[in-house]
Structure 1
Amino acid sequence: MRRLPGGVSSLTYAAEIRAGGADGYPVVIKIAPPGLDPVRNRDVLRQSRLMAAIGATGALPVPRILVDDDGDPPLFVMDLAPGQSYEPLLDVAENPPAASVVRERALVAAASLAGLQGLDPVLAGSGEPVLDLRTELDRWERLLQTVPDEIVPGHAELYRRLAAAVPTDAAPVLVHGDYRQANMLFEGSVLNAVIDWEIWSVGDPRLDLAWLLMHTAPAHRYARTRSAVDQDAGAGMPSREELVSAYLESGGPARPDDLPWFLAYSYYKVASTLGVIVKRSRKDAEPPEHLLAAADSLPDVVAYGLEALSGRRPAGVASRHWRSPHPGGSRQEPEADRGP
């Protein structure tokens, strides 16, 4: 077996199933961490149940579940779906996709999200709690309270402004929780599978939509420099307006109302998550380079969140990536939105 990257709440391995002299059949095995209760994000069977249910509908491609086992520790086995996983504005790859392919993948991702959100959330089984926006915002705030202010400067102001304007919850849908190209496997522009369902939930449809849109202009970084070919790939990302249009045209249930709040909330979640990771890394004699780069970007994460709430575009972000996500509205940017 070979350990795979990604997913932090369970152990993930690539393996082959062999029978007689036949060629090996490639699979992925997800195992709950031994010694820890298999609950919440570590509940791998909760993931497999949802993936199997989604796969049976045909609404969204997911790896096929082959077997699950509630032993000690619990585990499940699924097909190893082929394809490339690549986040266009963050990742570094030897052979990144062409800009035109990146554009098509992003539009497919937006349209496919509509398919996921069109499913009945009861598909996941009864008894799943519905995420409450204010409760979730406060949960991320409590996490940030454990992080020294110098690591994430300004986060208290972003929380204050988010807390003062929490939108009314929309009708709940299935929420992936980390819906972006890095958690998808593409061959060309064909989506073979959406992966990494560790933090799925039931909640507001704008959560996944805004998370996808946020990755058209991410403020965080894991690499100080990216190659010219990676930068060329990233240049293919569509605007937020185009992604929302693709989502709505495919029947997505979320209205664009309040998307600035959800974008700001997405940046706040990044600040909280990365802030804790950076804090822990400071205990190491030599923190890994990608976390040093991430630490340097955290002030920008907060700044982007504040700008998202105000509607202004941060310096250095292309206007087409920061355009209002309301399709069909005026394409002329307000004066404060125009940048160099």
Structure 2
Amino acid sequence: METDADPVLGARVRDALGLADAGPLTVLEGGRSGLTYVIRDAAACYVVKAVPPGRKALGRNDVLHQATILTALAGTGVPVPAVRAREDEEPAWFAMDFAGGEAVEPVLEVDAEIEPALARARMLDAARVLGALHAVPLDELGRSVTASGRTPPEATVPGEEVGRWARTMRAVPDELRPGGEELVGELLAHVPEPVPPVVLHGDFRLGNLLFDGEVRQALIDWEIWSVGDPRVDLGWFGVFTDGRLFPGSGRVVEGLPSERELGEAYREARGDDGGTAEATVWFSALGRMKMAAIMGHNLVRHRTGAHHDPVQEQLPPAIAAMIADARRLLAEERR
């Protein structure tokens, strides 16, 4: 008979959810924040996220940060899993409904079979999901966050976003980020004025949105949600429209929407411009800079032995491509 991956946590989850006849608490493959498990009985299935024993609830291990925004978004029309239980007692955890479907990133998952027309339809619908998220009144979400005992995050502005990712970029050796310092300077020289802040998902893309065919199921992976300029989410989403930005690690998929098309679908769903039609090129360049910084960080972690993952050796061409394309966009915008 299979036993719980964590017997103490399993007992807490069963008691909170009333799952006397549930099967074992098992590790869910693919979970990257905290510890991720699944537990089910004859009637339902739940995903459980928990702080690892002995760890502090900080950063990606702060699973209740995710539970807070999922609870706040319930009933707003944004497709998120329902939170069914949470416990703040250490090690903290929460349980949410298991959401079915698949999350396929067309330009990155080279072995995934997805028709270009389906990928296009999903991306356009994802833009509408993002518009619905950014349309949720921030004051309502703030009240819900406060009611949970948490403090809503302070809103960040575009210049702060550059500074944050510049620090990550500068931790990468110069030879792995050709033109990276110049790109940081070019972004800082033309920082746009912020627009009214919204809740940001932080990693908005098809890889974090579950679909059944063309039908959206749930927007997942909320570990880095924050409050800030909505164009940050839009610029990041746009990075995944062009497989040419991922030489050696991705693929070109014909027929995907352009960043302009995604922006149009987004604004139609949001119901107002929100200022997001301005400075879109700058935010597209910022998205590419962020991706280059993240790729460089992951490659350094592999090469220093912090996290062994030979796949990261595919990334140098993509890092260079991201930086070069960001600089191209900014140069063309200034002409």
TM-score of Structure 1 vs Structure 2, range by shorter chain = 0.7 to 0.9
CA RMSD in angstroms, aligned pairs only: 2.3
The one-letter code matched in structure 1 to 2:123 is A
Q: Which residue of 1 aligns with 2:21?
A: none
Q: Does the 8 A contact of 1:176 with 1:201 survive in 2?
A: yes
Range that drifts further, 267-276 or 125-134: 125-134
Give the structure-2-normalised TM-score.
0.83
Please give the alpha-carbon distance, in whole angstroms, between the structure 2 residues aligned to 1:209 and 1:290: 27
Please give the alpha-carbon distance, in whole angstroms, between the structure 2 residues aligned to 1:199 and 1:184: 15
Please give the alpha-carbon distance, in whole angstroms, between the structure 2 residues aligned to 1:211 and 1:5: 21
Alignment partner of 1:261 is 2:278: no
TM-fit CA distance, 1:161: 0.1
Match for residue 206 of structure 2 among 181, 185, 193: 181
Alignment partner of 1:16 is 2:35: no
TM-fit CA distance, 1:224: 4.2
Secondary structure of the 1:56 match is coil
Q: Which residue of 1 aligns with 2:94?
A: 76
Alignment partner of 1:301 is 2:319: no
Q: Which residue of 1 aligns with 2:49?
A: 30
Secondary structure of the 1:29 match is strand
Secondary structure of the 2:317 match is helix
Secondary structure of the 1:12 match is strand
Match for residue 170 of structure 2 among 137, 140, 145: 145
Q: Which residue of 2 aligns with 1:277?
A: 298
Unaligned residue ranges in structure 2 (runs of 5+): 1-25, 147-151
Secondary structure of the 1:16 match is strand
Q: Does the 8 A contact of 1:214 with 1:266 survive in 2?
A: yes
Q: Which residue of 2 aligns with 1:164?
A: 189
Alignment partner of 1:193 is 2:218: yes
Q: Which residue of 2 aligns with 1:133?
A: 158
Greater helix share, structure number: 2
Flag as ranges the 4+ runs of structure 1 deviating above 6 A: none
The one-letter code matched in structure 2 to 1:281 is H
TM-fit CA distance, 1:69: 1.1
TM-fit CA distance, 1:269: 0.8
Q: Which residue of 2 aligns with 1:5?
A: 30
Secondary structure of the 1:147 match is coil
Match for residue 292 of structure 1 among 305, 313, 327: 313
Identity %: 34
Cα 1:303–1:73 shift into 2, 3 Å? same
Q: Does the 8 A contact of 1:32 with 1:38 survive in 2?
A: yes
Alignment partner of 1:117 is 2:142: no
Match for residue 214 of structure 1 among 236, 239, 247: 239
TM-fit CA distance, 1:241: 2.0
The one-letter code matched in structure 1 to 2:64 is L
Secondary structure of the 1:150 match is helix
Q: Does the 8 A contact of 1:84 with 1:185 survive in 2?
A: yes
TM-fit CA distance, 1:17: 2.5
Q: Which residue of 2 aligns with 1:103?
A: 120
